[in-house]
Chain A
Amino acid sequence: MQTSTVFLTLIILTVISFILGYRRSQAVAAGHGGIKSLHSLPRYYGYMTALWAGLPALFILLLWMGLEHRVVYNLVLDSLPKSVQGLQESQLGLYYNQIVSFAAGNIGNSQLNADQIGAASYLNSLLSSSRMIKSVLVFVIIVLGAGIAIQQIRPSFRARNNVENIFKWVLFACSFIAVLTTAGIVISVLFEAIRFFQVIPVTDFLFGLEWSPQMAIRADQVAASGSFGFVPLFVGTLLITMVAMLVAVPIGLMSAIYMSEYATRRFRSISKPVLEMLAGVPTVVYGFFAALTVAPFIRNLGESLGLNVSSESAMAAGLVMGIMIIPFVMSLSDDIISAVPDTMREASLGLGATMNETIRKVVLPAALPGIVGGVLLAVSRAIGETMIVVMAAGLSANLTINPLEAVTTVTVQIVTLLVGDQEFDSPKTLAAFALGLSLFFVTLLLNVIALYVVRKYREQYE
Chain B
Amino acid sequence: MNKQTDSNTDRSTNPNTAVIVASLKKRYAREKRFQWYGRLAVLTGFIFLFLLLADIVSKGTPAFTQSFIKLSINLDPEKLGVDANATTDELRQADYDAVIKSSLRKKFPEVTGRKEKRQLYRLISAGAGYELGDYIAAHPEDIGRTREFWLRAHSEADSYLKGQVNKNTPEADRRVKNDQLKWLDQLRKEGRTDTRFNTTFFTAGDSREPELAGIKAALFGSFFTLSVTFLLSFPIGVFAAIYLQEFAPRNRLTDLIEININNLAAVPSIVYGLLGLAVFINFFGLPRSAPLVGGIVLALITLPTIIITSRTAIQAVSPSIREAALGIGASKLQTIFHHVLPVAMPGVLTGAIIGMAQALGESAPLLMIGMIAFIVDVPGGVTDPSTVLPIQVYLWADSPEHGFMEKTSAAIMVLLGFLIMMNALAIYLRKRFELK
Contacts and interface: CB of A to CB of B under 8 A. Distances in A.
Given A271-B46, A278-B45, A387-B394, A440 B267 contact: yes
Contacts of B46: 271, 274-275
B278 A280 contact: no
Interface in B55-105: 55-56
A178 B240 contact: yes
Nearest to B357: A280
Nearest to B52: A289
Contacts of B370: 419
A188 B279 contact: yes
Interface string A263-275: 1000000010011
Give the interface residue-count category, chain B. 35 or more
B422 to A, nearest CB: 9
Contacts of B256: 179
Contacts of A365: none
A280 B28 CA distance: 38
- How big is chain A's contact interface, by range? 35 or more
A67 B263 CA distance: 29
A43 B63 CA distance: 57
B270 A436 contact: yes
B423 A69 contact: no
Q: Chain B: interface secondary structure?
A: helix
A178 B247 contact: no
Given A70-B283, A189-B271, A284 B390 contact: yes
A66 B279 CA distance: 10
Contacts of B269: 384, 386
A274 B49 contact: yes
Contacts of B405: 292
A192 B278 contact: yes
A182 B303 CA distance: 12
Contacts of A73: 285
B135 to A, nearest CB: 35
Nearest to A442: B268
B349 interface: no
A309 B247 CA distance: 59
Interface stretch (A18-26, A31-39, A201-209, A253-261): A253-261
A299 to B, nearest CB: 16
Interface in B11-42: 20, 27-28, 30-31, 34-35, 37-42
B45 A258 contact: no
A451 B262 contact: yes
A357 interface: yes
A167 B260 CA distance: 23
A254 B390 CA distance: 32
A252 B44 CA distance: 10
B35 A411 contact: no
A327 B275 CA distance: 29
Contacts of B48: 278, 323, 326
Interface in A273-324: 274-275, 277-278, 280-289, 291-293, 323
B372 A419 contact: yes
A75 to B, nearest CB: 14
Given A282-B362, A440-B268, 9 more contacts: A66-B284, A164-B331, A174-B240, A257-B38, A275-B46, A284-B361, A284-B391, A289-B56, A418-B367
Interface of B: 20, 27-28, 30-31, 34-35, 37-42, 44-46, 48-49, 52, 55-56, 235-237, 239-240, 242-244, 247-248, 256-257, 260-264, 266-272, 274-275, 277-279, 282-285, 300, 303-304, 307, 331-333, 357, 360-364, 367-368, 370, 372, 390-391, 393-394, 397, 405, 408-409, 412, 415-416, 419, 423
28 contacts: A164-B333, A174-B235, A175-B239, A175-B248, A177-B303, A189-B274, A191-B278, A250-B41, A251-B41, A258-B37, A271-B42, A278-B52, A280-B357, A280-B361, A282-B362, A282-B419, A283-B361, A288-B397, A330-B45, A355-B31, A355-B34, A359-B34, A384-B268, A387-B390, A411-B364, A415-B270, A418-B277, A432-B274
